[in-house]
Amino acid sequence: MLQIRAFSLEDELNSDWQSVFAKDPSLFPHLADLEKGQVLLSTMSEDAFQKASFLDQRLFTPDLQRQVVSWADIAAVPLPPLAKPHYIFHVGHVGSTLISRLLGELDQILALREPAILRQLAEVRVNRPAGIDWSDEEQIERLDQVEKWLSRVFHSGQRVMIKASSFVSPLAKPLLATGGTALILFTSLERYLHTILAGDASKQEAAALADIRLLRLEQHCGEPLVTKETLSLARTAALGWLCEMVTLHEAHTQCPEAKVAWMDFDHFLSRPAEQLQWAARHFEQELSAEQALALVSGPIMTHYSKAPEYEYSASLREELLAEAAQIHADDLRQTLLWVDQLAQRFPQVAAARTIAGSRR
């Protein structure tokens, strides 16, 4: 989990920051101290946004200019009319960063990947941490303020596209309640399990998040499900898929004003140019067949999107997933039976299984 208190007041304040913030998105709300009502602003160029895989503490270097300001002071800055951001939500480990990078190549899109301040607000919504006693109305007001801060663009005609962290799924419903456009990325439960079990880091992440995911899933289902200690490796991984799919399906069904589309990442990999064109159209962006083919034939598709310095391809992914499926075959079979049993008990789980089998 992100630390709510992530910085101190050691940074020097620029007295003219309000006028800069009003007209220049390079002054970016990076993190918040929610207890103290302070925001850490950093200076990001348009090129820096395009390169960044995560807009969180991992970008902090001695060269990154930063300053701490009052949340109330930012909220008081008058902003010009701003278009609501587009959103990419996802279940995790399903190519969301890749899709964001490809669509971020379009001139009209300013792609923001995983703004940490949204994750902090999601943690407040789920955990209700001590020291932060916002009402539901205050939570929505804060979220609306942050969304506006993140909506600022560098050029006329440009539109922000936020690729949220999977931990931000609990905010999908309030973010889409008043409309907007979102793409939800997923894959089948089986493929998701293979993906998580194929990597040491993803298995460790699944274990670390088991408590909060179990809590969120039980909140949706309305009753206790299991104890964490009884979960196998594959069932621990399955919690991630179940939790996010149930959350995002609920957001879709309860936000009729929003324009929402679902994309299976494995379908994208089978027809990347066609699927990229379809995603661009969903976001009302023009992308010719030739442009789409050029993008999916370029280096973005052959490197690991979260760390582009490393090569990674669809064929290598297939090899790793096949190996994981073989190694964990028995646990996977038992886990799929367990999920089927949950689907018989809980309509929310059954709906998640259905939607995964019926979307493109």
Phi, psi (5° rounding) for residue 186?
-155, 180
Distance CA 345, CA 356 (A): 18
Distance CA 214, CA 277 (A): 36
> Do 179 and 257 meet the contact criterion of CB atoms below 8 Å apart?
yes
Enter the pTM of the model. 0.93
Instruction: List all residues 6 or more positions away from 329 whose beta carbon is below 8 Å from its beta carbon.
Output: none
| pLDDT tens-digit series, residues 244-288 | 999 999 999 999 999 999 999 999 999 999 999 999 999 999 999
* pLDDT score of 14: 59
> Do 123 and 4 meet the contact criterion of CB atoms below 8 Å apart?
yes
Percentage of the chain surpassing pLDDT 70?
95
Which region, left, alpha or beta, applies to residue 182 given φ > 0 means left and ψ of -120 to 50 means alpha? beta
| pLDDT tens-digit series, residues 303-354 | 777 777 777 778 888 899 999 999 999 999 999 999 999 999 999 999 999 9
Tell me the domain boundaries of the chain: 82-108+158-358
Distance CA 64, CA 62 (A): 6
* pLDDT score of 127: 86
> Do 40 and 31 meet the contact criterion of CB atoms below 8 Å apart?
yes
> Do 249 and 359 meet the contact criterion of CB atoms below 8 Å apart?
no
| Mean pLDDT, rounded, of the chain | 92
Class of the CATH-defined domain 82-108+158-358: alpha beta
Question: At residue 360, does pLDDT exceed 70?
Answer: no
* CA Rg value for the chain: 20
pLDDT band at 13 (very low <50, low <70, confident <90, very high): very low
